Copies of this chain bind each other. A is one copy, B any other.
Amino acid sequence: MDKPATIKDIARQLNISISTVSRALRNTPDVNIETRKAVMALAEELSYQPNKLALSLKQKQTHNIGVIVPNLDYVLATMVRGIDEVALEAGYTVMVCQSNESFGREIVNTRRLLDSLVDGFIISVSSETKVFDHFKKIQEKKMPVVMFDRLIPDLQAPGVRLDNMDGGYQATEHLAEQGYKRIAILAGPKNLGISNMRMEGYLNALKKYRMKPDPDLMIHCDFNQQYAYIATQELLAMKKRPDAIFTISDRMAIGAMLAIKEKGLRMPQDIGLVGFNNEPVVSLVTPAISSVDQPAFDLGKLAAKLFIETVHNNSDMSMVEEVLRPKLYVRESSLRIAPKNGRSR
């Protein structure tokens, strides 16, 4: 009653061999129906639970997935929920590790999980990470890796991402259509792919609307509210200040909003603002901030599905790159002209 029961215990009590017990429990054909019943009954009675460790050791797979994320903010937590959903269904358990946007922490976490704890990884890279040796090490061990949200071009692995370029395009196009003439962008660190893609969309939209990109209006700053606040202050202090700002994240949009309010400028009249992620907060502030929504939950699910597929088919899916479409939600912060059809939520 103290130690958990094993197949040995069952075998001993039933006076049969452990091999037979093992077979009986696994529904292999070569076992008498009576003995099987007896085994099953006793297993139930002893509340036998197969030892996952022994199993994993034997067949060299753990049925665990290592998920590494830079943090657990709204968007990523939602994605993780999506991953969890699919993984559980497929018989996998996920191990979530936060790198806290720290390169060192990311390496430690990876090493940890690599120690025969997981069968593979689903990864969203930290913004600090510029070298990917620790991820390549995973692939050397022939472990499947799926990237999500923030992809790594250098890494030969499948990935799921948002069409960030389209998102940047939608946001900027909307601002242009609303009559804004000097549209600034608050982007993230230069090594961050998602940031660069969104900026590319921004540039494309400018081109389409025949606006000349102005380097002074394209700011790179850290991915948080505080830096966006400062950057916005500087933008607004220019002699030819921008009349609209597109920020690469909602956190940054909030920072920008605070700076704008402090300066006494009104949205959307004096200045337009569009964020990215569509976190719940943006519809609660005044004025409500327009934002590009990403299907985070679905993105997580897709990543997990891709992982499962890679494991099952054991095929090379390294060239697969699923792209999901974002959708702009227009709110007061950028709406100067009455919309053709109603939206927001």
Residues of A within 8 A of B (CB): 2, 4, 49-54, 56-57, 62, 64, 72-73, 77, 80-81, 84, 88, 93-98, 100, 108, 112-117, 141-142, 254, 257-258, 280-281, 284-286
Contacts and interface: CB of A to CB of B under 8 A. Distances in A.
Given A64-B117, A94-B95, A94-B96, 16 more contacts: A51-B116, A52-B117, A53-B53, A53-B62, A72-B77, A84-B97, A84-B98, A94-B97, A95-B95, A96-B96, A257-B284, A258-B284, A281-B281, A281-B284, A284-B285, A285-B286
19 contacts: A2-B142, A49-B114, A49-B115, A50-B115, A51-B116, A53-B57, A53-B116, A53-B117, A54-B57, A57-B57, A81-B100, A84-B97, A93-B97, A94-B95, A95-B95, A95-B96, A254-B284, A257-B284, A280-B281
Contacts of A4: 141
A284 B80 CA distance: 26
A9 to B, nearest CB: 15
A93 B117 contact: yes
Contacts of A117: 52-53, 64, 93
A113 to B, nearest CB: 7
Interface residues of chain A: helix, strand, loop or mixed (majority): mixed
A101 to B, nearest CB: 12
Nearest to A50: B115
A80 B98 CA distance: 9
B98 A81 contact: yes
Contacts of A94: 95-97
Contacts of A100: 81
Contacts of A52: 115-117
Contacts of A57: 51, 53-54, 57
A58 B92 CA distance: 24
A100 B85 CA distance: 10
Contacts of A113: 93
Contacts of A257: 284
Contacts of A80: 72, 98
Nearest to A111: B49
Contacts of A114: 49
A84 to B, nearest CB: 6
Contacts of A96: 94-96
A159 B54 CA distance: 32
